[in-house]
Amino acid sequence: MRERLHGVYVITEPALADPVESVAQVLAGGAQIVQLRAKHAPTRQLVQWGQAIRDLTRQHNALFIVNDRLDVALAVEADGVHLGQDDLPVPLARKIAGERFLIGVSAETVEEAQQAEQEGADYLGVGPMFATATKPDAGTPVGPERLRQIKQAVRIAVFGIGGINAENAAQVLAAGADGICVISAVLSAPNPTEATRQLVQLFASR
């Protein structure tokens, strides 16, 4: 599965759209990876959404990642989990989940990226690339140049995240990103399927 860590990676946001409905729309547009992120949802709700999303991603041969919650990811048979700097340590997550399970880690600096790789992470979410309203606590944008530095310092897949849209995605890809993570760029679009398709085409034509 690690060879499939590239392309357009869409993250859910319940405040913008129903997670299952939005996943169905972006998969129809060609998204290669989707992540269930719902910070304040009860566990039972996460599991319910996760089971439905798992079925959709299998139908579309896409990867399914769960944010933060390793227990939910394992319970719904997701392909992996994405961990922040304050979440479960990567070695412990790996011990619990096994070698085939994908583990992503958020990183803002070269040092965080290298540590994540050394600990066994499979991919990095680097950002915020640009200012973003979706995650108010995301911090100061690091920009594509930081992603370029991180990409040169590690061997695992690197995704840009934070404030990425159709207008600036090319900058992130030019910096060497293996993929782009988006939320509002597609979920807030009038037609999420078409918005996803445009980003997929941009990625394919780079």
Distance of CA 74 to the CA centre of its chain: 17
Residues in the chain: 206
Beta carbons within 10 angstroms of residue 131's beta carbon: 10
61: alpha, beta or left, given left = phi > 0 and alpha = psi -120 to 50?
A: left
Is 135 in the active site? yes
Nearest to 23 by CA among 69, 55, 70: 55
Give the active site residue among 94, 135, 148, 188: 135
Is 106 in the active site? yes
155: phi then psi, degrees, rounded to nearest 5: -110, -10
Beta strands in the chain, from DSSP E residues, in sequence order: 7-11, 33-36, 63-67, 80-83, 102-107, 123-126, 157-161, 179-182
- 3 state SS of 90: helix
Give the active site residue among 22, 54, 69, 106: 106
Give the active site residue among 22, 37, 54, 184: 37
Nearest to 90 by CA among 111, 64, 70, 62: 70
**Residues 119/90, Cβ–Cβ less than 8 Å:** yes
- Catalytic machinery residues: 37, 106, 135
